[in-house]
Each structure stands twice: as structure tokens, then as C-alpha cells.
């Protein structure tokens, strides 16, 4: 078993290796003078079970190409099996045609990963579960719920209400609410265009309740901060948020800092930059133990069922 990483999140890959007590594989991922990606695998991988840890986060195109080229290199070096470990799966939001003449990029990326030579995929909290069906190879879609729930159970809330930011997240939010013995509310919003959301009204009672907004990712934080404002206007007490993937693009950090949010709980599926790390409202939890356990079970050909909670 050998674990390698590109430039997307080497810190997470190193943490996984430390948990598994194995060294991180030696691969040089650089760029030619014209910007093309140059990959050199410095370790012998012939006959090895190879895992490539590479979330396809911003800059998504560069990190996706790094992943594809690394997979190709391992395939041509006669690796026995190649598992693409994508803690965050980029392009996942375009998973269906919502209007004419638009692509389904989640499917395109699945085809690219498969064609490059990956034998299986390990990921966390896909934006849409049906993306698993876009692949013709095994896909293990882990849930960050166990990581988030362990942290949330140690927090003290007053009449906790779990809030879904839209109708699509109700199932996920209901599952969290059941485990935390909390009530459920839904924010009804209308999205006028990409990355712009307008909150309409709240379904459920939040007056005097501490609220936790739950989503799979926080991108520009527009949906999140609009939701916080609506909850506060409805009389909510403490308002926090828990999101698996900290995309945090554009004005996200500024919006979070200027909002009434008390805390934003995220995981380290995506590496944070210096500015993001300095945000005092962010709490970052590690998914390294979860991924390490899953990777070990894949390598040993044992069941992953107990990890899907």
C-alpha cells in the first residue's frame, strides 16, 4: 500500500499517513515553463495498491489535471490498483440539466477519472448522491456526519433546532436532528442566479431556539449569511453552521465575519489559505481518521459499511 498526493491538500495526506503509520509516497508534481503539469513518481509502485489523495478544489482545473496525470503515471508504472481519494469532488454541482444546452460536468469528470485509469473512488459527502452512478467503477461516498456529530455533541445548545438551507438538504438535516435529539426547520429560498440566493421564509419554529444551519458546502456564504439573517429576524438565539466542505470563494470570509454567525464548523477536505485560517469564527475538524480507516479497509478488502453513519 502506498499513498501519494498532488498539490491540492498535502497536509491532509500527511495526516492520513501519520494515522496509518506509513510514509507519504515520493512524487514531484511541478509545472513546465508553459504551465503544463509535470509529474514524476519517484517510488517504485509496480504491483502496489496505490491511493492518490487529491481534492479537486480551487484552482479546480489545475488540481483535476494533477489527479488525472498522476493516475495515468501510476497506471503506466504497473500499479496493481489505483484508488482516487477525492475528499472534495469538484464540478459536483452540475449533476443534471436544469435548462437547455448546459453540460453535466459531474459525469464528465467521472468519465475522465475512469479513463485515466482509476480502479475505484473514495470521496466524502458528494453534492448529489446520484453522482456515484456516473461511474462504472466502485465509489465509496463517506459521510462527514460522524466527525461533525462528535464535535456537536460536546457543545451546549439551548433548545437546538437543525436548519436546512433548502428543501434539497432536508433528508440530511433530519438525520442530524434525530441523532442530536433536536427539532427541524427549513429555509425556503429562491435562487435568482448562481451564487446569489434570496431567503423567502422559514418553515418551523425557531424563536428562542439555538439554531445550527447544515449544508454540504459553504462557497460564497451568500446562502449561509442570508439564512442567518432570516433566523435572527425570526427570534433565534445562537446561530451556528456546520458544513463538510469549506470552499470559501470570493467574499465568503468577509460575509462570515460581518454576519451574526457565532461559529462555522467545517472539515479539512479542502486546504484553507492564510486568510481563511485567520477567521476566528471558523472551526476546522479533521477527516483524516475517517479517510485513514476507510483506506485501510479498502486495502485489506474488508467492509466499509460501519463507516456510513
Angle in degrees, CA 44, 49, 54, rounded to 5:
90
Instruction: Break the chain down into helix, strand, coil percent, rounded to 5.
Output: 35, 25, 40
CB 67 within 8 A of CB 54: yes
Cell of 192: 435568482
| CB neighbour list of residue 288: distance below 8 Å, 6 or more residues apart | 12, 15, 16, 18, 19, 268
Q: Is 207 a catalytic residue?
A: no
DSSP state, 24?
Answer: B
- The angle, 0 to 180 degrees and rounded to 10, between the axes of the packed helices 145-152 and 170-180 is 40
Terminal-to-terminal C-alpha distance of the chain: 26
Q: Choose, from 2, 97, 107, 189, the residue flagged as catalytic.
A: 189
Query: In 3-state terms, what secondary structure has residue 285?
Result: strand
- Give catalytic residue positions: 189
Amino acid at each position: 500500500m502506498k499513498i501519494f498526493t498532488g498539490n491540492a491538500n498535502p497536509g491532509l495526506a500527511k495526516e492520513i499517513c501519520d494515522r496509518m503509520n506509513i510514509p507519504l509516497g515520493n512524487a514531484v508534481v511541478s509545472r513546465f515553463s508553459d504551465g503544463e503539469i509535470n509529474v514524476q513518481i519517484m517510488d517504485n509502485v509496480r504491483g502496489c495498491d496505490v491511493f492518490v489523495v487529491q481534492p479537486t478544489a480551487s484552482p479546480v482545473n489545475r488540481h483535476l489535471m494533477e489527479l488525472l496525470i498522476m493516475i495515468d503515471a501510476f497506471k503506466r508504472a504497473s500499479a496493481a490498483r489505483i484508488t482516487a481519494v477525492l475528499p472534495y469532488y469538484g464540478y459536483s454541482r452540475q449533476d443534471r440539466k436544469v435548462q437547455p444546452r448546459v453540460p453535466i460536468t459531474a459525469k464528465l469528470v467521472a468519465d475522465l477519472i475512469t479513463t485515466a485509469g482509476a480502479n475505484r473512488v473514495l470521496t466524502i459527502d458528494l453534492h448529489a448522491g446520484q453522482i456515484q452512478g456516473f461511474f462504472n467503477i466502485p465509489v465509496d461516498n463517506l459521510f462527514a456526519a460522524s466527525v461533525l456529530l462528535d464535535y456537536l455533541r460536546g457543545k451546549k445548545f439551548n433548545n437546538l433546532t437543525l436548519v436546512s438551507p433548502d428543501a434539497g438538504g432536508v433528508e440530511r438535516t433530519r438525520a442530524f436532528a434525530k441523532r442530536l435529539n433536536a427539532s427541524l426547520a427549513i429555509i425556503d429560498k429562491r435562487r435568482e442566479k448562481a451564487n446569489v440566493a434570496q431567503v423567502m421564509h422559514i418553515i418551523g419554529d425557531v424563536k428562542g431556539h439555538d439554531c445550527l444551519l447544515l449544508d454540504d458546502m459553504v462557497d460564497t456564504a451568500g446562502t449561509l449569511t442570508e439564512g442567518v439573517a432570516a433566523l435572527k429576524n425570526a427570534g433565534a438565539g445562537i446561530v451556528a453552521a456546520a458544513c463538510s466542505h469549506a470552499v470559501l470563494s470570493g467574499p465568503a470570509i468577509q460575509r462570515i465575519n460581518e454576519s451574526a454567525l457565532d461559529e462555522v464548523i467545517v472539515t479539512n477536505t479542502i486546504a484553507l489559505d492564510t486568510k481563511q485560517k485567520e477567521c476566528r469564527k471558523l472551526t476546522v475538524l479533521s477527516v483524516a481518521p475517517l479517510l485513514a480507516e476507510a483506506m485501510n479497509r479498502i486495502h485489506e478488502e474488508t467492509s466499509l459499511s460501519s463507516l456510513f453513519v
